[in-house]
Structure 1
Amino acid sequence: MADNIQNPEMGLTAAEVDKLLAAAHREGRADISMSTFYRLVRQGAIRKSLLGNRVQDARYDELQVLDLIENGTPSKRKQKAKAGGNRNLPTPVTKDYSQTAASDWIQEGDLPFVWALDIELYGIENSVSPTVTWTWWRKNPRACRILFNKENRREIWGALSVIPMREETISKLLSGKMQEHEITDDDVLAYEPGGKYTCYVASVAIHPEHRQSFPTLLHSVMSFWCEQYPEVQILKLYAFALHDEEGTGLRLIRKLFFAPRYDIETNGNAYELRLDVYSPSPTIQHLQKCFQQRAKGRDIRSYFPSVDRTIISAIDTRSVHGIVASVRYETARKDDIAQCVAIDEAIFGASTVTPVTEQIATRQGWWTQNHEIFHVLKSREQVVGYVSTLPLAEDQIIRILREEEHPRDIQNKDIRLFQPEQLLDIYFVVMGVDPAFSTHQKRLLGGKLIENLTETFRDWGHRGTEIKNLYARSRLTDGIRILEHIGFSQTDFSPVNGKNIYSLNLRESNSPFAQVYRQALEEYHGSNIAN
């Protein structure tokens, strides 16, 4: 007999397994009968636990069920391996994170890491700057819920943003007359006693590796809605998804039985879900029953809303393989710099002024002066992305940005050190990933770079490094988007020769990136006073 599952309450009932298998059959992903499933249980291939004394109380290991659907029965796997000449099938990528998943309402310090997840999943071109979204969450702190590793909150696994707004504003968003980045705090409604709300589902972001924890995230939002009922009532949900692009958003819309609103958007990309009428969705039915119990004055614990766990099948399963899966972020070594220069050439083109050998030698000289000015994303000793941050005198940075001085003229002695209580200004020279990767891979790498760069600035703050201004320039669309999303603004002498010139005052900016750094610096000063 297979070992009992570690958390039987999180396991699937037989009815839930049946629904998953039926859905997989309809979608053409698998053709596995319940009799086959029970045979695998008897053989020990699927773990089972009993919550009570009855067979009906059995719970089955959810991850093994999902693995069965995605990869087939053991005999089918052997047949595929034999046909492919490879008896060693890859180990399934699904892992059990159910013991460490936690959810909470978003806080300011979460923003850079949630933004990094957005970039990983959807790209910088489809993300909204955290400097914008934070104005939303300040207006309504219960409009965005995050999923994270409870042992490390900065390890964000998912986010669900459901924003109460006026119906006319939502209509503008769904019809394309208004873009999400144009939403202001005035458009966001705060939850108030006696209020009845329509909500816009702005984002559902779940890392594929943590898809099995999505019900935890959705359940936590639904529970809040139920707890507030009837003092605060959610009447309708609206969402947008391209009807001809299969993805998490569209599949969730189907699972929850949203209805298309052709009167708002004629192509069928706008959807509505009324919570005051019958829904075939088990998840919505549970929520509606909870509303009914609350309307009768009963405590939510008497009928806690539950999530149909078959909803997991709606989440994208595209996993991270190969070079991206093994990526790590670290301080660069001297021999990494040649690969950094190669990435520069791939992004910006070969220099017509400075030979490659001279570029490498110059940067290695800088590195000798300060080992922390280059940070790299590496996989199997290959540099796949990097960022260079040069602490220089502010007047020298301005001369470089005005193109009165060339970066090749920077001397080793000009590079300052990241030391406690030494006031610095920093020139961002490059932040980028190898453009040879696919769009999906570049999104993943870009998200990793931003997430870890935030941690680098947090570390400098914890060490007491006093940073005043950051400076950067870019002529590329993605570079401009990243800088503006972080919170950089153009200087009064921008542009220069077709390049936008940017600055960010870390001491004064409301950018979440700056807030993370300042909080760490305050913790440094607080600990020194205490000591």
Structure 2
Amino acid sequence: MNRRSHQEETDAFVSFSRALELFKPLNKNAFNYRVRKKEIATKEDESGKTLYGVQSVIAMRNSLLKRLSRIDKQPEVITDWLQPTDIPASLALDQTVYHEMYLAEAEVYMAWRRKNPYISMAAFDARDRRTCYAYIGLIPLPESVILDVLTGKRDEKEITPDEILTYDQPGEYCVLANSAVVHPDYPELISKVIDAIGEYWLKQYPEKRIKRIYAQTVSEDGRIMAQKLYLGPLYVLQDQELIKIEDAYVLDLDGVAASRIIRRFQEKLRAKATYPSK
């Protein structure tokens, strides 16, 4: 095939059967799912029959195969709460992701962790805990403090250890997701960290539970987490008008979740409430 005919084919729209051939070795179910998500370009011909864009079919196939390859090569990890001795590992991950270490912030977070050690869940190399691949920070705070941070009235680093809540008392807690960092070679590991946080809160239920998760996304990893959890935009009332806060999100765990991860977590909570362990 010459260069011109190849260009014409990649710019073309083809039938369902031809699109499936181009999508191999991935199957029809995966193809239809990506079409429903509008990740594969479609159009109708004169008779109303759906055609599929060759270029987008091939691009989606290659992207999914690359993702599967990464999953196959994922390191073996353990998940655990970040301890003070793990700070060098988390700073090294920050250096990998952001090309700098946030030493000032680390000192603030260490003071918070002395008040409540259940703040940051991380994924570590199973053979060497000095290697951290991902972590998520969830800071339990009075809801008024969280809203002050998200609306710009206060800087996050101004939060004092006295304002950090512990999980000593039964009841509902609001948390601020202030960090989500994952090694660029292993983005899927963020899901393992989310699952580990869910398992911790499943053990606390029903005596203790998270009511709302707030987040402010300032990085690509944060946006990925917001997308995974389907966090909704945050609106606040100002001068009798609802104002959307830029890059701020909220998830009410009492509501119907769009995220599969959160739905699964809610189902486990309901099952535990119905059939409590003896």
Normalized against structure 1, the TM-score is what? 0.40
Unmatched segments (≥5 aa) in structure 2: 1-26, 42-54, 238-242
Q: 2:109 aligns with which of 105, 111, 133?
A: 133
AA aligned to 1:129 is E
Note the alpha carbon deviations across 1:268-299, whole angstroms, 9 max, x for none.
32111000010121111111111111222434
> Which SS does the other structure have where 2:235 is aligned?
coil
Query: 2:40 touches 2:57 (CA, 8 Å); kept in 1?
Result: no
Distance 1:236 1:227 in 2: 18
1:293 to 265, 268, 271: 271
Q: Is the 8 A contact 1:112 1:130 kept in 2?
A: no
Change (3 A) 1:232 1:221: same
Find the aligned partners of 1:133 and 1:251 in 2 and give their Cα distance: 22
Query: Match of 1:360?
Result: none
Partner of 2:230: 257
Question: What is the rounded CA distance, in whole Å, between the counterparts of 1:229 and 1:142 in structure 2?
Answer: 15
- CA–CA distance in structure 1, aligned partners of residues 257 and 115 of structure 2: 31
1:517 corresponds to: none
Trace 1:94-493 onto structure 2 (pairs within 5 A).
96-98=73-75, 100-124=76-100, 128-241=104-217, 247-263=220-236, 266-299=244-277
Deviation at 1:255, TM superposition (A): 3.1
Give the secondary-structure state (helix, strand or coil) at the position aligned to 1:294: helix
| Alignment partner, residue 26 of structure 1 | 39
Partner Cα separation in structure 2 for residue 26 and residue 15 of structure 1: 15
State the distance in 2 between where 1:171 and 1:269 align: 13
AA partner of residue 205 (structure 1): V
Please state whether the residue corresponding to 2:250 is helix, strand or coil: strand
Deviation at 1:93, TM superposition (A): 7.1
Distance of 2:142 and 2:189 partners within structure 1: 31
Secondary structure at the counterpart of residue 268 of structure 1: strand
| Closer, same or farther: CA 294–214 of 1 in aligned 2, 3 Å | same
Alignment identity in percent?
Answer: 26
Q: CA deviation at 1:241?
A: 2.1
Q: Which has the larger radius of gyration?
A: 1
1:155 aligned counterpart, secondary structure: strand
Q: How many angstroms does 1:30 deviate by?
A: 4.9
**C-alpha deviation, 1:188, in angstroms:** 1.1
Give yes or no for contact 1:239–1:270 (8 Å, CA) kept in 2.
yes
1:322 corresponds to which residue?
none
- Assess if the C-alpha contact under 8 Å between 2:231 and 2:251 holds in 1: yes
* Change beyond 3 A, Cα 1:251–1:192: same
**Greater fraction of residues in strand:** 2
Q: 1:70 to 1:214 in 2, by over 3 A?
A: closer
Output the aligned Cα RMSD: 3.4
Write the distance in 2 (CA, Å) between the matches of 1:226 and 1:135: 26
Asked if structure 1 preserves the Cα contact closer than 8 Å seen for 2:79 and 2:123, the reply is yes
